[in-house]
Amino acid sequence: MPVNISRIQHVESSACFPFIEMKNISLHFSDHYEKLCVLEDITLQLYKGDFVCVLGPSGCGKSSLLHVLAGFQKPTSGDITINGTRHTRPNSDVGVVFQHHNLFPWLSIQKNIEFGLKMKGIPRSERKNLVSSYLKIVGLEDSAAKWPYQLSGGMKQRAAIARTLAADPKVILMDEPFSALDALTRESMQNHLHRIWIQTKKCIFFITHDVEEALLLGTRIVVMQPNPGRIVVDMPNPLPRHKSIEENKHVKEFNDLRNYLISMIRKQ
Ligand SMILES: Nc1ncnc2c1ncn2[C@@H]1O[C@H](COP(=O)(O)OP(=O)(O)OP(=O)(O)O)[C@@H](O)[C@H]1O
């Protein structure tokens, strides 16, 4: 069935109650010479189980929006609520995975994943069980005792994802987490993340420059435009979620959707 692009634009998510809501977010920076509108009047709702992929040209404000959502950056105006409570600073509801893993080099992989659980005061036996289950989810059961320097780039990023998952955040923010990886590792990481999302149904907010990656992973796709940074597309991804990434690449609509999204990214 051909994709009716006009029908899928700006469709509301089927779930009825957003558990993260960004309302009229603006972010301005100014110096002596000019005022820069990095984000202008952004309203976005995230629902449980959403995998939102954010695309847009360089400098359109994707990372800035993530920083505001993480609580790292105070917006100039607007509000964020999580489960109805105002969100103003970094906290354990929001986990972040960056482009470069930030594992502690002095701790084994197991201890890295355990770190947040220990901070939360979770008893040792429970910690052990949780760490093994997260190691299994990211496919690193055999690397528990290794040190970060002994792992490949993709394995380190998987360990960083496990560490974030272990803290049980309500939403995981990812800022181009695979962009430093080679093409093959990247493909394998996409499969891992797809499986992790199927297993955990965590809400994920994922920034990428790669339109295909967004189509293969996202349940929703958001496109931003610069000057000022704003959302121009917020659409559900019509590709079937039960299919594997490999199968979806061969679905007929895949190319139409990719071309549509590329045209929206380029449109000024
Ligand atoms: N602290 C800051 N002070 C001034 N300007 C800033 C600051 N942080 C970001 N900017 C500006 O905000 C704009 C958006 O930057 P941002 O990093 O959010 O874009 P992006 O879409 O993530 O870009 P990229 O895809 O290249 O990573 C840029 O013009 C950037 O120079």
Q: Is the pLDDT of residue 14 over 90?
A: no
How remote is the CA of residue 226 from the centroid of ligand 1, in Å? 10
State the closest ligand 1 atom to the C-alpha of 176, by its place in the atom list counted from 1.
27
Q: Is 58 near ligand 1, meaning CB less than 6 Å away?
A: yes
Whether complex ipTM tops 0.95: yes
Residue nearest to atom 13 of ligand 1 (CA): 59
d(CA 77, CA 25): 6
State the closest ligand 1 atom to the C-alpha of 61, by its place in the atom list counted from 1.
18
Alpha helices in the chain (DSSP H): 5-8, 62-70, 109-119, 124-137, 153-166, 183-200, 211-217, 245-249, 253-266
How remote is the CA of residue 5 from the centroid of ligand 1, in Å? 30
Q: Is the pLDDT of residue 5 over 70?
A: no
Confidence of residue 7 (pLDDT cuts 50, 70, 90): very low
State the closest ligand 1 atom to the C-alpha of 229, by its place in the atom list counted from 1.
14
Residues ≥6 apart with Cβ < 8 Å to 235: 8, 9, 10, 11, 220, 221
To the nearest 10°, report the CA torsion of 253, 258, 261, 263. Answer: -110
Radius of gyration of the chain (CA): 19
Write the DSSP symbol of residue 131. Answer: H
Residue nearest to atom 17 of ligand 1 (CA): 63
Three-state DSSP at 210 gives: coil
Percent of the chain predicted with pLDDT > 90: 57
pLDDT (tens digit per residue) in 63-118: 999 999 999 999 999 999 998 899 999 988 899 998 887 899 999 999 999 998 89
Residue nearest to atom 12 of ligand 1 (CA): 38
- Domains present along the chain, CATH in parentheses: 16-93+169-266 (3.40.50.300), 105-166 (no CATH)
d(CA 172, CA 77): 23
What amino acid occupies position 181? L
